[in-house]
Amino acid sequence: MSTRIDDRFAALKAEGRAALVTFVMAGDPDPETSLAIVTALPGAGADVIELGMPFTDPMADGPAIQAAGLRALKAGMTLKKTLKLVTDFRVQDDKTPIVLMGYYNPIYVYGVDKFLAGAKAAGVDGLIVVDLPPEEDLELCIPARDAGLNFIRLATPTTDDRRLPKVLENTSGFVYYVSLTGITGAALADYAGVSAAVKRIKGHTGLPIAVGFGVKNAQNAAEIAVNADGVVVGSALVDALKTSLGPDNKAGEGSVEAVTSLVASLAAGVRGARPQAGPAKNGGAFSWLTRLWA
């Protein structure tokens, strides 16, 4: 049975273009504004939404996303409220795929079975849990698959051809290629290297390949969208929101537009990357994550 993620990537492949995958932190800067932002993302051009699950110790994230998570927690965001945000989003949008991204600790504390049941009921389509390597698939990956959720794996520049089959073994939805070494928000990756990596990974799987980390603007997005099946943007959107906030990190009148205007620009870049219509022809890899997955 296909998921919204499967259906969205299949539809975009038929259109001959890549997906724009947007990351925002659930509850940043407050639950109400966060819901308004997430609800506005599809209309601005987002094809898939990654929703960060706030956590007190996000060791893989750069300063921007760390700060976003802390703002959300300070505003009272919890994992239960994150699921409620998805439920509220689904009242207005039953088509756009939602992926929850974060760390295993909050899920473990919440209870795996309870979390998966709640995520499925809310309308979540997939999970990215960056600190669970393939060797721990029985913890969450397999139960998530059995619950009807995609479990999306990360591949890094150091994931070689010997390691890649293990990484891909229970992956579904799409493969998230972390295009550089470092933390989220780091410098842009080398385009030629990214293109070669996408081609290499495609030799091992028929899943779509989405590339993230280092994408700041429409030009960056267009460069990656030429060869990848998806372009993931996170820190740039979090930064755009941060610049709109007032004293004490309170949302301003332009906070939603600060995010959606950048998404619209990125979407234009992605959509213009392959001028010919028809079927497609074609973060940071954190040091500790590289050791887990590579």
Is the pLDDT at 281 greater than 60? The verdict is no
Catalytic positions, written as ranges? 50, 61
| pLDDT at site 171 | 96
Instruction: Tell me the residue type at 282.
Output: N
Identify the band that residue 213 occupies on the pLDDT scale cut at 50, 70 and 90. confident
- 4-293: which CATH topology? TIM Barrel (3.20.20)
Digit-coded pLDDT (tens) for 44-56: 999 999 999 999 9
Q: What percent of the chain has pLDDT over 70?
A: 89
Before 106, cis peptide (omega within 30)? no
Each domain of the chain, given as residue ranges in start order, spans 4-293
> Nearest to residue 280, comparing CAs of 230, 232, 214?
230
pLDDT interval class at 170 (50, 70, 90): very high
Contact (Cβ atoms closer than 8 angstroms) between residue 168 and residue 198: no
Two structure tokens written together for 52: 């960060």
